[in-house]
Amino acid sequence: MEKLLAELKEKIVEILNLPDVAPTDIRENEPLVGGPLGIDSIDVLEMVIMIEKDYGVVINNRELGAKVFATLRSLADYVQTHAAEPAS
């Protein structure tokens, strides 16, 4: 889990091109979207694609996205739970 959290932090900073955010600035239990990181709904969609591409986990509607991307931990939990599922 710790490895996944660290990996997600790196990826988020990179794909969202967050200029003044270091991976360590992302707190696992703080709101990921709408807070001081400056991450918004468009970024969530970009992360959705990354999660599907890199982990094979599909988040195909906005309601689910809002829950999954609530915090970094909720994202990591969701990825860990669903990445193991066989492809349907």
Choose between 1 and 64: whose C-beta lies nearer to another protein: 64
Minimum Å gap between C-beta 4 and another protein is: 20
The interface with another protein within residues 52-81 (CB under 8 A) comprises 52-53, 60-62, 65
Q: What span, in angstroms and rounded, lies between the C-alpha atoms of 47 and 49?
A: 5
Rg, Å, the chain Cα set: 12
Among the listed ranges 1-9, 37-45, 68-76, 77-85, the one in contact with another protein (CB under 8 A) is 37-45
Helices (H), 16-40: none
**What φ, ψ does residue 31 adopt, rounded to 5°?**
-55, 130
Q: Which residues bind another protein (CB under 8 A)?
A: 16-20, 38, 41-43, 45-46, 48-49, 52-53, 60-62, 65
